[in-house]
Amino acid sequence: MLKEIYIQNLAVIREAVIPLNGSLNIFTGETGAGKSILINGINAVLGQRCTKDIVRTGCDKAVITALFTDLSPEISAKLDELGISHENSEITVTREISADGGSVSRVNHRTASASLLREIGSMLINIHGQHDNQVLLDSEKHLHILDEFGGDNSLLEAYRETFRELQQTARKLGDLKRQEQSRIERSRYLNEIIDDIGELELAENEDELLEHEYETAKNSEKTIIALKSAVQAIIGDDGANDIIISAERDIAGFTDGIPVLNGLYERLSAAEIELADIASELEALSEKIELDSQRLEYLGERLGNINKLKRKYAQDCSGLIKLYDDACTEIMQLDSSLGEIEKLSVRKEELLRTVTEQAKALYDYREKTAEKFAERVTSELEFLNMSGVVIRVRHEKGKLTANGMDSVEFLISANKGEEPKPISKIASGGELSRIMLALKSVIADKDSIPTMIFDEIDTGVSGKAAQKIGIKLREIGKVRQVICVTHLSQIAVMADNHLMIEKKIIGERTETNVTQLDIDGRISEIARIMGGENPSQLMIDNARAEIERASKI
């Protein structure tokens, strides 16, 4: 439980030591006296977010230290897990908030993170403020409340274990299916490479060798054509030889009379013989050059195929050969996941059947729990002056989730004969406070959180209803430490430990003090709550009578 709180320089609280007992602790005080500051201080040591604005003006830092004693086995186990000592079953938790905005947290003088404080704090204290009534308006939270009331989480834990395995199996199965699809696509690509390149049976640097041979073959063809064309130009019709012979005939009859012409004629005759000889040699040379047209066609076709693959795979001939070899190696190493996929598919179906059966068992358990829950809460509401209000649990089956197949929503009927409707549609603020108190009451002995804090749970209620709330808080205080901030005398008189929060002007500064009241102090404070400042003797007598009467309840 929370044994003591020490506060220094927190807003208007300069310094305060607040002792608490293990039952019902009541805080009272005028509006604005600083009761909310106390809750802020407790929230700070629980690791909640706080700002530098809460540091008292002119001070370097605010310090809040909480002493927890009589630790439960659950929190002791958590502290052992975290490596935090807890001699004599107690720990101190400190939070320092600097004026510059930083903060330091400690557990037993050991530095700790805010998240660690929250983890520990959630097991030490449960704070219920006005905003927590919103839990009742959120149907998604109702299932958790029902399970808290049930108290036995064995079915839920077994279900969640199976559900997690089902999720993991389904996730792995999905991954393997995607991998198998990728493997199929990769295999298809590798086979395409193997088919494309393997069909050519490439040799190293074959493309270069073929290029050279092909160019040579193409040049041979051109050479033969050129030689034969030259032969035709010499000895073909109207070729050079015919022209020379014609020239010879033209000057033959004039050579005797003109010696020079005779020399020219002889030269023409020599040229005719030379040209005929050249043509003969050209003819012989053309016949010596080999030309295999089929080979040339083959070379052209093969080079075309090789170049096509070079463009397709952006590789040279050596690269194509390596690509082919790598593809052959990789495709041999591509293991199919079909066997594992089949195995996981069978396991998934088994888990789905198991988790469905567990969900049905959990649903049946919750169905019975819901009946008991509705009866208990309705009874508590009747005690809290909400006679005629009936609570029902709408419990339906839905899809499988981490919490089962259950859909739960609390319904209330505010007046006899009216059909139950969702709480969010008909409950007032005062009704929400009492409904929440009823819920806290029925689950108070179900959880292990030792301290429950109620911040102004009396909002919207008065009179007999307020008295019933006070009685119920005292009743909860028998099994849990209860800390309550209230404005109502009907609740304050039920205190086992009554503390007054009071704001005073000291010098030029405002300070808030927290005082543990003795019986006379309690009488004066109850009288003030009942009748205001400077209560009459009659009001003081009434306050004393109410305190005595409350002590006998």
* Confidence band for 516, pLDDT divided at 50, 70 and 90: very high
**pLDDT for the residue 320:** 92
Query: Could you tell me the two tokens for 397?
Result: 């089956």
Beta bridge partners of 2: 68
Q: Rounded to an integer, what distance in angstroms lies between the CA atom of residue 115 and that of residue 417?
A: 49
Task: Give the C-alpha separation, 204 to 288, whole Å.
Answer: 32
pLDDT over 90 at 544, yes or no: yes
475 vs 446, higher pLDDT: 475
pLDDT reported for residue 170: 94
Residue pLDDT, tens place only, 189-228: 999 999 999 888 888 888 888 888 777 767 777 777 777 7
Sequence-ordered alpha helix ranges (H) in 314-395: 317-333, 338-383
Confidence (pLDDT) at 135? 62
In sequence order, which residues have a C-beta less than 8 Å from that of residue 442 and are 6 or more positions away? 149, 373, 376, 377, 380
Strand (E) or helix (H) holding 290:
none
Largest distance between two CA atoms of the chain: 180
Q: Where are the alpha helices (DSSP H) in 131-204?
A: 134-137, 142-150, 154-198
How many other C-beta atoms lie within 10 A of the C-beta of residue 80? Answer: 11
Confidence category of residue 126, pLDDT binned at 50, 70, 90? confident
List the structure tokens of 305. 């195929």
Per-residue CA distances from 326 to 199, 306, 320, 331 (Å): 16, 18, 10, 9
Write the DSSP assignment of 49-105 as a string of letters.
---GGGBPTT-SEEEEEEEE-S--HHHHHHHHHHT---GGG-EEEEEEEETTS-EEE
DSSP string, 201-230: T--TTHHHHHHHHHHHHHHHHHHHHHHHHH
Q: How far apart are CA 389 and CA 415, in angstroms?
A: 6
Pairwise CA distance, residues 64 & 293, whole Å: 102
pTM value? 0.65
**The pLDDT value given to residue 372:** 92
Please give the average per-residue pLDDT across 13-25, as a whole number.
92
For residue range 329-375, list pLDDT tens digits in order.
888 887 777 888 999 999 999 999 999 999 999 999 999 999 999 99
Q: Which domains does the chain have, with CATH numbers?
A: 1-20+30-129+496-516 (3.40.50.300), 184-333 (no CATH)
Under 8 Å CB-to-CB from 82, ≥6 apart: which residues? Answer: 116, 119, 120
- Sorting pLDDT into bands at 50, 70 and 90, what band is 288? low
Average pLDDT over residues 114-127: 87
**Is the distance from CB of 536 to CB of 519 less than 8 angstroms?**
no
Residue 428: exposure state from Cβ atoms within 10 A (0-12, 13-18, ≥19): exposed
